Amino acid sequence: MAQQEPEPSVDSYQPIPKRRRWLILVLAITTAITIVWMMLERIGAPPLRRIATPDAAAPCAAGQSTGCVGGTASVIMVAPPASAASR
C-alpha cells in the first residue's frame, strides 16, 4: 500500500467584489429607510382612535375655584424638617 500524501490546503476564501459590496450596502440602507418610513406612516394599520376632550374643561367662572381650568387644587404637603440651627 502506498502512503497517501495530504492534499495541499487551498484557501477557499475569496473577497466579495466591490460591485456586490455596494449592492449589499444599498439594499441594507434602502431596507432600513423603508422600515422606518412604514413605522412612521403606519402602512396597513387601523386608524388611531382619538380621545375626545371632555366639555368640562372650561375656564373658571367668576368666583369658581374648583372643577375648571385654572382653578385651585388641594395639596397635602409634608411639614419641613426642623432646621439644624434649632438643635
pLDDT tens digit string along 31-74? 999 999 988 888 788 888 877 665 556 677 777 777 677 667 67
Residue 22 is inside which H or E element, if any? Answer: helix 18-41
Q: Kindly report whether the global pTM for this prediction surpasses the value 0.85.
A: no
The tens digit of pLDDT for each residue in 60-70 reads 777 777 767 76
Distance between CA atoms of residues 41 and 39, nearest Å? 6
Instruction: Give CA 67 to chain center in angstroms.
Output: 35
Cell of 44: 396597513
